[in-house]
Amino acid sequence: MHPKDISILDYTYELPEEKIAIFPMSERQDAKLLIYKAGTLQEDQYKNIAQYLPANSLLVFNDTRVIQARILFQKATGGVIEIFCLEPNETINEYSLLMAQKERIRWKCLIGGASKWKEGDLVKKFTVQGEPAELRAQLIEKTTDAYVVELSWKPAHLSFAEIIEQAGDTPLPPYIKRKASLVDKERYQTIYAKQDGSVAAPTAGLHFTPSIFSTLAAKNIKTEYVTLHVGAGTFKPVKAALLEDHPMHAEWLDVSPQTIHQLIDNIDNSIIAVGTTALRTMESLYWMGVKATLQPEIKLAELMIQQWDVYEDDLYNCQLTPSVAFEALLNWMKTNHSERLIVQTQILIAPGYRYRVVKAIVTNFHQPQSTLLLLVAAAIGEDWKKLYQFALENNYRFLSYGDGSLLFLNNSKR
C-alpha cells in the first residue's frame, strides 16, 4: 500500500491525560528506557543505554537549540496577546545570520488573542544584561495558516537572539498545560544544544548527560551532530482521514561535509539516530544524494525533499547504497562550493518506507495519530502497538518530558 492510502485511524491509541509528563524528571538520565529488538522488550534506564548499543556504533544527535519563541505582550487595557514565533519570514541562507540580525526582523507567527489586536503596535519592556530594552511587534499580514509580524527593538545593536532570549518564554508543547518556568529554560534543552533556531526541543536528546557520554566513549561508541531546526508542525496531528490529505511540515537542516564523511565511514557499523529529527535528517541526506546522482546540475532549492518524493518511482527505483548517495552529495557540494548544506526537508516517513541509513532509533513515546508515530511504525511494523501498550501498562511517561525507547529496526524493514 502506498503511504498516501494510509488511514490515520489505524495509528491511534488511547492516551490518558495522566500518562503525559507535565514536568521533567529530577535527573535527566533516570528516565525509563524501553528497549525493542526483534520483537522482544526489555526495561532499563537511560543511564545504562550504552549497554544496549553495539560497540563502534555511531550515535547521531540534533544539536539545534530551542529559542524562547513564545512572547507575551500586555495591552494597556490589561489583555494579553501571545506571539509564537514559528520561522523567519526572511530568505534563509543561514539561520545563525538571521539570529544575529540587528534592529528588526520579520517572522511567521501564531497569535493567541489575535482578535484583540485591532490596530497599533504591541510593546514589551524588559532588560538585557541590566540594560533597558524594548521589543515592538507590528502586524504585517495574515497568511493561510499564520501571521507575518515585524519585530523591532531597542537598543538596535543587540541581536535578535539576545532580544528573544530575554523577552520570550520557553515554547512548551500545547499538551503541557501549564506556564513555562525557569526550570524549563534549562530542561527543555539538550545539554549539547548549539545552533539557535528550534521552537520545539528534539526531545529524545533531553535524557543524555555528561555521564552517559562518558559511558558511550568507554565502549568506543562515536557521536556526531546534525542540525535540524524543529518547527511547531512537529506537534500537528494528522486530521485528514487519509495521509494523502495531510500537509507535512517542512524544516531546515544544516549539515557539514565532515558529518557526511562520518556517515560514510560508519555505514557498515550501526548508525543510530537520537530522535526523529536526526533520523529524518540522515534519511533526507540519502535522498538528496540520489537526486544529485540523477541530476548533477540540480539547484540547491531542488534538493529539498518534498513530502512524497521518496515514494515516487524515479527516486524510489534508484537503488543506490548509502555510501554512493553520500559521495554524490559531497561531490555536488564541492562543485557548488558549499561549505555547509542548508536546505529544507519535508520527508514523511510512514509504513511502506524502507530505511536506508539508520539501524536503530532512540525516541520518546509520541501522540496518537501523529506523523512521529507513523515513523515508529515504519521502523518496527505492527509491533508499535505492543510497544505502546506495554509502556501504558507499566507507567511510562509519554511525550516531550516523558520516558523513551531504543528501537532496533526489524530486519524485514531494511
User: Looking at residue 77, what is its pLDDT?
Assistant: 79
pLDDT tens readout for residues 334-352:
999 999 999 999 999 999 9
User: Looking at residue 79, what is its pLDDT?
Assistant: 85
pLDDT tens readout for residues 153-200:
999 999 999 999 999 999 999 899 999 999 999 999 999 999 999 999
Start and end residues for every CATH 3.40.1780.10 domain found in the chain: 3-65+193-413
78 pLDDT more than 90? no
CA angle 178, 228, 347 (to 5 degrees): 100
pLDDT category at 316 given cuts 50, 70, 90 is confident
User: Looking at residue 414, what is its pLDDT?
Assistant: 35
Q: State mean pLDDT over 304-313.
A: 95
Q: State mean pLDDT over 67-90.
A: 90
Residues with Cβ within 8 Å of residue 29, at least 6 apart in sequence: 45, 46, 47, 207, 208, 209, 211, 212
User: Looking at residue 114, what is its pLDDT?
Assistant: 85
pLDDT tens readout for residues 243-286:
999 999 889 999 999 999 999 999 999 999 999 999 999 999 99
User: Looking at residue 411, what is its pLDDT?
Assistant: 57
Q: What is the 3-state secondary structure (H, E, C) of 33-59?
A: EEEEECCEEEEEEHHHHHHHCCCCCEE
412 pLDDT more than 60? no
90 pLDDT more than 90? no
pLDDT category at 1 given cuts 50, 70, 90 is confident
pLDDT tens readout for residues 225-240:
999 999 878 777 899 9
Enter the C-alpha cell of residue 4.
498516501
Mean pLDDT (the chain) is: 94
Hey, what CATH class is 3-65+193-413 in? alpha beta
Residues with Cβ within 8 Å of residue 405, at least 6 apart in sequence: 33, 34, 35, 36, 362, 363, 364, 365, 387, 391
pLDDT tens readout for residues 359-385:
999 999 999 999 999 999 999 999 999
Of how many residues is the chain composed?
A: 414
User: Looking at residue 95, what is its pLDDT?
Assistant: 84
pLDDT tens readout for residues 110-166:
999 888 887 789 999 999 989 999 999 999 999 888 899 999 999 999 999 999 999
- Among 82-86, 93-97, 187-191, 350-354, the minimum mean pLDDT is found in 93-97
CA angle 265, 60, 33 (to 5 degrees): 130
User: Looking at residue 329, what is its pLDDT?
Assistant: 98
User: Looking at residue 413, what is its pLDDT?
Assistant: 38
